[in-house]
Amino acid sequence: MSDLRTPPAEALAEPAPAGPPVRRARRRAGRLVCWAAPAWLVYLAVEWCVDGRYWIGELAGAVPPFLFVVLPLLFAALIPLARGAGRWRTAAAAAVALVLGAGQSGINFGALWSSDHTAGSDSVRVIAWNTNSWNQLLGTQDHFYAFLKSKKADVYLLHEYQHVTPDRKGRLPIDDLARLRAEFPGYEVTVQGELVTVSRFPVVATPAVGPARDVAADADWNTRYRQAKVLRTDLLIRGRTVSFYNLHMPVWNSMTDGPLSGAFYTHMRDSFGPRAAQYAGLQDDVDHNPNPVVVAGDFNTTAAMSELDGIRSRLTDAVGASDDLYPTSWEEGGWKPFWRTDWAFTGHGVRADEYRFDSPEKLSDHAVQDLWVTVPPASRPKDDSRPENESRPRNER
């Protein structure tokens, strides 16, 4: 006969607490969080001390910038795993790390409360793009020029007007000016080393910037390639001279040697001085330039690297006119694009109206910077009878 007795009360109780293996796992996780949060804070302190001062500091700022916000928030979420005083230590470390790292995260916090930026009818459209060795490696020339023309920009700031050797370690000069001028009739083309500026506005001056000032008039292309990493063109826009800085800063790491190779660190050490010289030259030129300015190009620098601090303190990041919460520009078509290495800045009266990164359509590993700016009007003489609302339609050729 089956046993129909009522089961004991303890059989109806809640399941027993987790056994020793689970408790041990939680304790280990708690200890890990207690150590990881302060360790990340130490990393931040080291990065602040060495980045921009010593060549090895470039490596410290190369992590995906969003980690400077995501990791502190993750540590905060895991605080319940810590025990006793460890919770307070973890909370304090996470809070300080978040405060110190938020400005290096590359996150466009303004996009959370400001959106739908739209260019005005008088805005000037600027395209800045690393062309990946002038389309030597990807796509076709017809696709390349059709892509450029489809942007209908007023000013193009193009980098890597060059080809590379088969091992991709050397750079070779090219001459594609005949086709470039044919594809953009009515535009003026200015070339310096690997940099090309194409403008539908008249070019009134091309002052040398930084180390390029020491380049002799008869210097060969390789010298210009190394020294002229910033091309300034002063354009006459509706009666006002505006300076456009087209730049491609030297890369800080070796793109062909991995971090396990000694050549990788040799390149870092050797490129540190030239990079600093180019940034110093750009900042000095901006300081002494009374014109409205637009600075855009491939900075080969992430939001976490201190090289940008000087130009950020002088000009305004165009990201304020972007609706993207976490804008990135590299590496398109390869690794997930965790980094923004292409930047645009405005100043001395120029305002960014709209800013975004466009797909390069598999023609480059860099996204295209698409920037619309408003240029301050020129002062008019008292006898100027033109109506105040007279302007040239956008993209009129």
- Alpha-helix residue ranges (DSSP H) falling in the chain: 20-50, 57-60, 67-77, 85-101, 132-135, 141-150, 177-183, 221-227, 262-287, 309-314
Q: Is 209 helix (H, G, I), strand (E, B) or coil?
A: coil
The mean per-residue pLDDT over the stretch 361-388 comes to: 78
Element (H, E) at 246: strand 240-248
Residues 92 and 99: their CA atoms lie apart, in Å, by 11
DSSP string, 310-362: HHHHHSEEGGGG---SS---B-TTSS---B--EEEEEETT-EEEEEEEE--TT
Give the integer Cα–Cα distance in Å for 326 and 342: 13
Cβ 230 vs Cβ 282: under 8 Å: yes
Instruction: Tell me the pLDDT band of 388, cut-offs 50, 70 and 90.
Output: very low
* Phi and psi, residue 168, nearest 5°: 65, 15
Per-residue pLDDT reduced to its tens digit, 245-297 = 999 999 887 766 777 778 888 888 889 999 999 999 999 999 999 999 999 99
Q: What are phi and psi of 372, to 5 degrees?
A: -110, 130
Q: Taking the mean position of all CA atoms in its chain, how far away is CA 323? A: 15
CA distance 268 to 62: 12
Handedness of CA 344, 350, 351, 353 (dihedral sign): negative
Is residue 225 within 8 A of residue 171, CB to CB? The reply is: yes
Instruction: Please compute the mean of the pLDDT values over residues 90-105 and round it to a whole number.
Output: 93
Model confidence pLDDT, tens digit, residues 302-320: 999 989 999 999 999 999 9
What's the mean pLDDT in 341-368? 95
Parallel, antiparallel, or unpaired for β 368-374 and 351-358? antiparallel
Q: Please say whether the beta carbons of 210 and 282 come within 8 A.
A: yes
pLDDT higher than threshold 50 for residue 98: yes
- 184-201 tens-digit pLDDT: 999 999 999 999 999 999
Query: Tokens 């403008």 appear where?
Result: 199
User: 20-50 and 67-77 are packed helices; what angle lies between their axes, rounded to 10 degrees?
Assistant: 150
In this structure, of 41-45, 93-97, 139-143, 176-180, the range with the lowest mean pLDDT score is 139-143
Indicate the average pLDDT of the chain: 87
Q: Which two tokens stand for residue 152?
A: 């209908």
Tokens 């973890």, residue located: 90
Percentage above 90 pLDDT, the chain? 62
Q: How high is the pLDDT of residue 14?
A: 52
Whether 13 shows a pLDDT value over 80: the answer reads no
Compute how many other C-beta atoms are within 10 angstroms of the C-beta atom of residue 361.
16
| pLDDT confidence tier of residue 125, bands split at 50, 70 and 90 | very high
Q: What is the pLDDT of residue 385?
A: 44
pLDDT reported for residue 59 = 83
Of 72 and 15, the one with more pLDDT: 72
Domains of the chain: 12-104 (no CATH), 114-374 (3.60.10.10)
Task: Please name which of 316, 313, 304, 312 lies closest in space to residue 373, comparing C-alpha atoms.
Answer: 316
Alpha carbons 119 and 147: distance in angstroms, whole number: 21
- 368: closest CA among 125, 127, 126? 127
- Of the candidates 163, 140, 161, 246, which has an alpha carbon nearest to the alpha carbon of residue 199? 246
Q: How confident is the model at residue 397 (pLDDT cuts 50, 70, 90)?
A: very low
Q: Output the six-digit token pair for 317.
A: 């990041």
Asked whether the predicted pLDDT for residue 375 surpasses 90, the reply is yes
- For 194-221, what is the mean pLDDT? 96
**Are 161 and 131 a contacting pair, CB within 8 Å?**
yes
